[in-house]
């Protein structure tokens, strides 16, 4: 990481890699925009809870 704002995204990428059974993520810095969009779409797919 060469910028000061993607650190949280890298943490989430590492968590995602570990949940998939990998020890490290294979992502590169240029993949972060795509990974950010992937996470955004995943959040949008979470169903709303109606009480």
Query: Can you tell me the distance from the alpha carbon of 13 to that of 30, in angstroms, rounded to the nearest whole number?
Result: 13
Does residue 5 surpass a pLDDT of 90? Answer: no
Domain ranges of the chain: 7-44
Q: Is 28 left (phi over 0), alpha (psi -120 to 50) or beta?
A: beta
Predicted structure pTM score = 0.78
Tens digits of residue pLDDT in 7-51: 899 999 999 999 999 999 999 999 999 999 999 999 999 999 888
Q: Where are the beta strands (DSSP E) in the chain?
A: none
């Amino acid at each position: 990481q060469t910028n000061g704002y993607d650190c949280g995204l890298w943490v989430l990428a590492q968590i995602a890699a570990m949940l998939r059974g990998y020890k490290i993520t294979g992502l590169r810095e240029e993949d972060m925009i795509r990974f950010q969009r992937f996470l955004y779409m995943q959040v949008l797919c979470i169903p709303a809870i109606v009480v």
